[in-house]
Amino acid sequence: MLYLKFFLVLSLTLFLGCSGNGENKKINEIEQNLNVSNQKMILGKVNDNSKASIRKSKEIKAKKVKSSTGKEYQKMKAPDFMLADLDGNVMTFSAYEGQVVLLTFWGTWCGPCRQEIPDFIKLHDEFNNEGLEIVGIAIQSGGSESIKKFSDYYKINYPVLTDIEGNESYKAFSDFGTISGVGTRAVPTTFLIDREGYIVKTYRGARPGHVFSKDLKPYL
């Protein structure tokens, strides 16, 4: 468009030549009109671009707000592990995929851990048919035989996992503590994990059964 207007001015100049003040005056008027028109056109483009930028900025801000406040983005994926059950079978966390899991790190030597066991037994009885699985990972509690005797004594009705041959249980504790930010300074430490494998709640230290019951029900 600018090239067309420049060509028009040039053509008029060549056509009229230097034939007098009247013609020059007309040419000046045409040039002024063209300049005003060009300025309006450029200004219009600037305004359109500014409006588009403002709209884009608002859209980006809205997306950022949504992503930072949406619950899905506050969850953390539970890390996998490889541990042994008390019969020596190798188990991974992915084996519990599709279930709501209360994963508790504990020790047979830990008083607060022993206090939670009766509540976990009740929760397992009440909600296992609805998709809840409680998994206890015993840390620094000796071999599987001694843990099994402890489990039988307390009539634990949910899976208890421990080391395969080294310190795999503590590595699992470290992985969960790191990704959740709660660390590995205390047992019991328990994680509530939804059916999609995301950690949705963490508990450092012992809690009464009704706290777990209230928190897990929305995910069943």
Burial class (CB in 10 A: 0-12, 13-18, 19+), 201: middle
Report the number of distinct structural domains present in the chain: 2
* Boundary (domain end) residue, out of 72, 106, 131: 72
Query: Is 141 strand, coil or helix?
Result: coil
Contact assessment for residue 103 and residue 191, using Cβ atoms and an 8 Å cutoff: yes
Look up the CATH number of the domain holding residue 96. 3.40.30.10
pLDDT at 40: 47
User: What backbone phi and psi angles, to 5 degrees, belong to 43?
Assistant: -60, -40
Q: How many CA atoms lie within 13 A of 113 on its CB side?
A: 21
pLDDT at 74: 65
109 and 214 co-located in one domain: yes
Q: Is the pLDDT of residue 49 over 50?
A: no
Confidence of residue 47 (pLDDT cuts 50, 70, 90): very low
150 and 205 co-located in one domain: yes
pLDDT, one tens digit per residue, over 162-219 is 999 889 999 999 999 999 999 998 899 999 999 999 999 999 999 999 999 999 999 9
Average model confidence (pLDDT) for the chain? 78
Which of 167, 146, 140 lies closest to 83, judged by CA? 167
Q: Is the pLDDT of residue 91 over 60?
A: yes
